[in-house]
Amino acid sequence: MQNRQKVSNAIIRRLPRYRRYLGYLQTKGIKKISSNELSELIGYTASQIRQDLNTFGEFGQQGYGYEVDKLYKEINRILGLDREYKTVVIGVGNLGQAITNYSYYYKIGFNIIGLFDVNPKIVGNVINDVEVMDAAGLEEYLEKENIDIGVICVNRENAQRVVDSLIRGGVKGIWNFAPIDLEVPDEIALESVHLSDSLHALSFMIRNNSGEKKD
């Protein structure tokens, strides 16, 4: 598990998708699948699928294929979904609430145990059994709790400041929804969802009449 070299971003983006399709196969009761069948389903080449999987180990059996259950478990492990993450959400406006309420199913393992906001109208509200705390108490809270992930749902102007607090407080990863490119140290994981960038990419594709698009 240690000292593997850098996994390319392209592979990281494909892994959750493998997971989704394997989960689907599982619910269908399908026990084994070959890279060719998976290719048909998921749309990557069989060659790419085998290459991707072999980055992490030898999960298949020659002449047979891959066991769905086993591969699903392996990918979960690779993705770090075999553990739980203590998570806080900063900024409990529309988006923060949506994330907090977001279908439990898709957030298994990501336990939102703290909510913070600066707005006195929001502080004290209870969302999904968690009471919204005053953001002024964030740093103090982080000293007590061992938080893994901070979700940034504050506005652009405050995002970096909040991130700095979170990192001082020891979080391992940031899930950012603010429309800004945040600065974090190398050892901190950062994943940004830039909704407006995504919308603008859509608009580009509409103008250029699309043709193939990725995903």
Partner DNA sequence: TAGATTGTTAATCGATTAACAATC
Binding site for DNA (CB under 7 A): 8-11, 33-36, 44-48, 50-51, 53-54, 58-66
Of residues 58, 129, 157, 186, which one binds a second copy by CB under 8 A? 186
Distance between CA atoms of residues 215 and 208, nearest Å:
17
- Closest distance of CB 176 from DNA, Å: 21
Is 24 within 8 Å of 72 (Cβ atoms)?
no
Q: Does 160 bind a second copy (CB under 8 A)?
A: no
Judged by CB under 8 A, the stretch of 13-21, 29-37, 60-68, 136-144 that binds a second copy is: 13-21
Is 152 within 8 Å of 159 (Cβ atoms)?
yes
CB atoms within 10 A of CB 81: 16
**Residue (61 or 119) nearer to DNA, CB:** 61
**Residue (30 or 108) nearer to DNA, CB:** 30
DSSP one-letter string for 87-148: EEEE--SHHHHHHHHS-GGGGTTEEEEEEEES-TTTTT-EETTEEEEEGGGHHHHHHHS---
- Closest distance of CB 192 from a second copy, Å: 5
- Closest distance of CB 150 from a second copy, Å: 11
**Residue (18 or 66) nearer to DNA, CB:** 66
Residues 65-94 that bind a second copy (CB under 8 A): 78-81, 85, 94
Alpha helices in the chain (DSSP H): 9-27, 35-42, 46-54, 68-78, 94-101, 138-144, 156-168, 195-207
**Residue (53 or 162) nearer to DNA, CB:** 53
**Residue (53 or 95) nearer to DNA, CB:** 53
Phi/psi region, residue 65 (left: phi>0; alpha: psi -120 to 50; beta: rest), is left
Residue 136 touches which member of DNA, a second copy, none, C-beta under 5-8 Å by kind = none
Q: Does 46 bind a second copy (CB under 8 A)?
A: no
